[in-house]
Amino acid sequence: MTESQRYRRLGKYEMHTLIGEGAMGIVWKAYDTVLRRYVALKLLSSHFGKTKEMQERFLREARAAGAIQHPNIVTVYDLGDAEGQLFIAMELVEGRDLSDIITLREPMALERKLDLIIELLDGLHFAHQRGIIHRDVKPSNVRIVPDGRVKIMDFGIARLQSADASGSGAIVGTPTYMAPEQITNGAITPATDVFAVGCTLYELLSFHKPFEGESVHGVLYQVLTTEPKPLRTVAPSIPAALERVVGKAMNKVPQERYETAAQMQSTLLGIRAALSGAGEETTQRLGIRWTPLPGPVLKLVTQAPMKWRITVLSALALVVALLLFSPSPPAADQPTGARAAPPGPVASEIPPVSLALSARRDSALAARDRAILAGAIKNNVSTMALAEAMFQVSEQALVAGNQSQALNGYIAVVEQYRKAQDEARALGQEAAQMLQRVTPVVQAIPTGPAAVNAGIYLARAESLLRQQDFTMAKVAAQSAEQVGIEAGIAPPSSQPADARGAVDVLLTDLGRALASERVGNVRVIYPRMTDQERAGWESFFRDWDQITARFTVERFSPRGPTATADVRALFEYVPAGGGAPRQDRRRFGMRFEKRDVGWRVAAVAELK
């Protein structure tokens, strides 16, 4: 028995592990045998496809939900009907649900809790702008991935359930988090999701649900008629301003809530900044010598994952201790006439300094400029936050006249800026490689709306790359790639470093491209294909069905960035007109070339 025969199949998906099940259906961890990746495969309950009209409505609504591409929303890869079963294939997201964290009452800093809700609101606002409302926001639909980001799950699925239940008197959603208008069949607006976010934030802050009852109807009655306990009675340490935000979000009148998720997010960002000591009034109270962190640096610190913030603060504490306890040189050693370079990012009044200190400060400023030019601040590079904090401590020591402390700080910060520069460059290389990989996929899409959409995404990615916005460039490139995948164009697999191993992987990809019976997939592997060869492949696919192809390299001769090989091919197929399966054996002479994105087929000739 082969590995694939061990698993139940649905179309191109092998269902490996049952993840969960609920009223809408069951979810499997499944393997896409064409694109060779794991997905979360949701098999919808049979009541979604009772009639052809309901199936069409399901597909229409699911496509709308699947069109959303955002870092905080789980991506929908595929949807359809296979063997009479409606399914949705989604991004498989590792991590933990917010509901698990709440159930276990895991300790978490208030700032981190706000970070999670701010990201949740960011994803919701993006969808609301495109006319999609979630309708079932709740902690179990909010996943925290291992790197700390938030992913909203089941986006648009509740809308599908609502469409299926319309006219039946069914209530759609989860009672504890449902807005009153959902219960009374009122208008569903972005404020409906805002109410659910308020309930989620209430529960995250207090570890208590805002509405509880002995039955579903009891909970629904509370949602409609009763105010939850004041947040500060169950969580006394919560700031009053935050209690007001939660109360406004959970107002029973939609018009009295935040009109948009962005409005609520903006208010929470202000509270988050105040908690961090970043607000203008807060920082001014710390003393006349304190200069707040620059805006870009504050963004780096406040939006970084918790593990990075802990690293930054720990390292900063170490630097401060080093500077405070380092010995100061005698005053006689300090020249009185020398002054440092023009004021830097923090210091505004610099006392006389030694030439050595002035040179070290100039070196630190130059290292900072190099990191900025590499895109470290623009791309929220975590090591840049630490470097900026270290530099600011050194500037404070310099203004205070403690030159020994400042000198030690300037020496240490140069290496930190170099790390930030290297990290930014690595991000740029990743983005550039992503564009190189995606470009042939986009070029292989047949002329039509999909090709236009993918071209727009790719042009946007190229523009963002030139602007050094590497993270968003990758997102745009991934969107272009996703359009290609949905059009049936599969990206090539990653290849090992050695030429022979890379060519073996390439030939496996070629077999997969032939099995797809799409010339566009073959062109990704064989970009130099001529028009005559293209016509030959099209004829090949018209005459043969259910194609499988296996390639065996008999002779391989690498020469730097090129290689040649004699390749034996075994084709198994069914004639297009029907009949028994057949086999066809052939030999080809192939030439390969190494490009920036890996090895590709450069020429093919059949050998007699």
pLDDT tens-digit readout, 516-535: 888 888 888 898 888 888 88
Please check the confidence at residue 299 and state whether its pLDDT lies above 70: no
Q: Sign of the C-alpha dihedral, residues 123, 126, 127, 133?
A: positive
- Which residues, 6 or more positions from 588, have their beta carbon under 8 angstroms from its beta carbon? 566, 567, 569, 604, 605, 606, 607
pLDDT score of 503:
93
Q: What is the pTM of this model?
A: 0.47
Cβ atoms of 196 and 137 within 8 Å: the answer is yes
> Total domain count for the chain?
4
Q: Of 62, 92, 122, which residue sits at a domain end?
A: 92
Which residue intervals of 339-469 are DSSP H helices? 355-373, 382-399, 403-443, 449-466
Q: What CATH number did the domain enclosing 177 receive? A: 1.10.510.10
With residues binned 3-state (H G I as helix, E B as strand, rest as coil), the percentages for the chain, rounded to 5, are 50, 15, 30
In a domain, 280, yes or no: no
In a domain, 39, yes or no: yes
148 by Cβ neighbours in 10 Å (0-12 / 13-18 / 19+) ranks as middle
Backbone Cα Rg of the chain: 30
Tokens of 353: 């300094």
Tokens of 9: 């199949």
Regarding whether 117 and 225 lie in a shared domain, the answer is yes
Regarding whether 318 and 261 lie in a shared domain, the answer is no
pLDDT score of 97:
92
Please check the confidence at residue 162 and state whether its pLDDT lies above 50: no
Please check the confidence at residue 320 and state whether its pLDDT lies above 60: no
Regarding whether 195 and 110 lie in a shared domain, the answer is yes
Instruction: Name the residue among 184, 177, 145 with its Cα closest to residue 158.
Output: 177
Regarding whether 478 and 418 lie in a shared domain, the answer is yes
In a domain, 281, yes or no: no
Tokens of 423: 């990290």
The domain in which residue 70 lies consists of 1-92
Percent of the chain whose pLDDT exceeds 90: 30
Tokens of 503: 């060519």
Regarding whether 183 and 319 lie in a shared domain, the answer is no
Most distant CA pair in the chain: distance in Å? 100
Instruction: Give the whole-angstrom CA distance, residue 280 versus residue 436.
Output: 44
136 catalytic per annotation: yes
Regarding whether 198 and 257 lie in a shared domain, the answer is yes
Cβ neighbour number for residue 399 with a 10 Å cutoff? 18
171 by Cβ neighbours in 10 Å (0-12 / 13-18 / 19+) ranks as middle
Mean pLDDT across 103-124: 93
Please check the confidence at residue 214 and state whether its pLDDT lies above 70: yes
Apex 449 CA angle, 445 and 455, nearest 5: 60
460-493 pLDDT per residue, tens: 788 888 888 887 888 788 778 777 777 767 777 8
Instruction: Give the whole-angstrom CA distance, residue 393 versus residue 323.
Output: 9
* Amino acid occupying residue 180: P
**Beta-bridge partners for 38:** 31
| SS3 call for 377 | coil
Q: What CATH number did the domain enclosing 63 receive? A: 3.30.200.20
Cβ atoms of 485 and 452 within 8 Å: the answer is no
| SS3 call for 605 | strand
543-591 pLDDT per residue, tens: 888 888 999 999 999 999 999 999 999 999 888 888 888 899 999 999 9
Please check the confidence at residue 495 and state whether its pLDDT lies above 80: yes
In a domain, 282, yes or no: no
> What's the mean per-residue pLDDT of the chain?
80
pLDDT score of 257:
95
Q: What CATH number did the domain enclosing 549 receive? A: 3.10.450.50
Which residue intervals of 276-354 are DSSP H helices? 280-284, 295-303, 306-325
Tokens of 330: 């005698």
User: How distant, in Å, are the alpha carbons of 25, 138, 334, 459 from that of 168?
Assistant: 19, 24, 86, 47
Please check the confidence at residue 291 and state whether its pLDDT lies above 50: no
Q: Of 92, 112, 132, which residue sits at a domain end?
A: 92
In a domain, 321, yes or no: yes
- Which of 78, 115, 122, 136 is catalytic? The answer is 136
SS (H, E, C) 29-54: EEEECCCCEEEEEEEECHHHHCCHHH
Cβ atoms of 282 and 250 within 8 Å: the answer is no
Instruction: Give the whole-angstrom CA distance, residue 139 versus residue 137.
Output: 7
Least confident of 104-113, 411-420, 432-441: 432-441
Regarding whether 440 and 320 lie in a shared domain, the answer is yes
Instruction: Name the residue among 602, 591, 589, 601 with its Cα closest to residue 506.
Output: 601
pLDDT score of 3:
47
326 by Cβ neighbours in 10 Å (0-12 / 13-18 / 19+) ranks as middle
Please check the confidence at residue 404 and state whether its pLDDT lies above 80: yes
In a domain, 533, yes or no: yes
Apex 381 CA angle, 377 and 383, nearest 5: 110
pLDDT score of 203:
96
Tokens of 256: 């009295």
Regarding whether 99 and 73 lie in a shared domain, the answer is no
Please, which pLDDT band fits residue 287 given cuts at 50, 70 and 90? very low
Regarding whether 412 and 303 lie in a shared domain, the answer is yes
Please, which pLDDT band fits residue 194 given cuts at 50, 70 and 90? very high
Helices 355-373 and 403-443: angle between axes, nearest 10 degrees: 20
User: How distant, in Å, are the alpha carbons of 91, 143, 411, 560 from that of 433?
Assistant: 22, 29, 34, 21
Regarding whether 501 and 479 lie in a shared domain, the answer is no
Residue carrying the six token digits 């802990």: 310
Instruction: Name the residue among 153, 161, 201, 156 with its Cα closest to residue 177.
Output: 201
Instruction: Name the residue among 208, 215, 214 with its Cα closest to residue 229.
Output: 208
Mean pLDDT across 388-395: 88
Mean pLDDT across 247-262: 94
Select the highest-mean-pLDDT range: 123-137, 158-172, 302-316.
123-137
Count of CA atoms in the C-beta half-sphere (13 A) of 266? 7
In a domain, 487, yes or no: yes
- Which residues, 6 or more positions from 411, have their beta carbon under 8 angstroms from its beta carbon? 360
Q: Of 228, 253, 275, which residue sits at a domain end?
A: 275
Tokens of 346: 């923090």
163-185 pLDDT per residue, tens: 444 434 344 567 889 999 888 77
Mean pLDDT across 97-107: 91
Beta-strand pair 142-144/37-44: unpaired
In a domain, 571, yes or no: yes
pLDDT score of 504:
92
Please, which pLDDT band fits residue 307 given cuts at 50, 70 and 90? low
Instruction: Give the whole-angstrom CA distance, residue 179 versus residue 190.
Output: 11
Apex 423 CA angle, 422 and 428, nearest 5: 95
38-90 pLDDT per residue, tens: 999 888 766 555 566 666 666 666 676 677 889 999 888 888 888 878 888 88
Mean pLDDT across 413-424: 92
Query: Nearest 10 degrees: CA dihedral of 277, 278, 282, 283?
Result: 100
Regarding whether 210 and 257 lie in a shared domain, the answer is yes
pLDDT score of 589:
95
Regarding whether 183 and 50 lie in a shared domain, the answer is no
Cβ atoms of 605 and 583 within 8 Å: the answer is no
Strand ordering across the sheet containing 582-595 = 544-559, 562-575, 582-595, 598-607
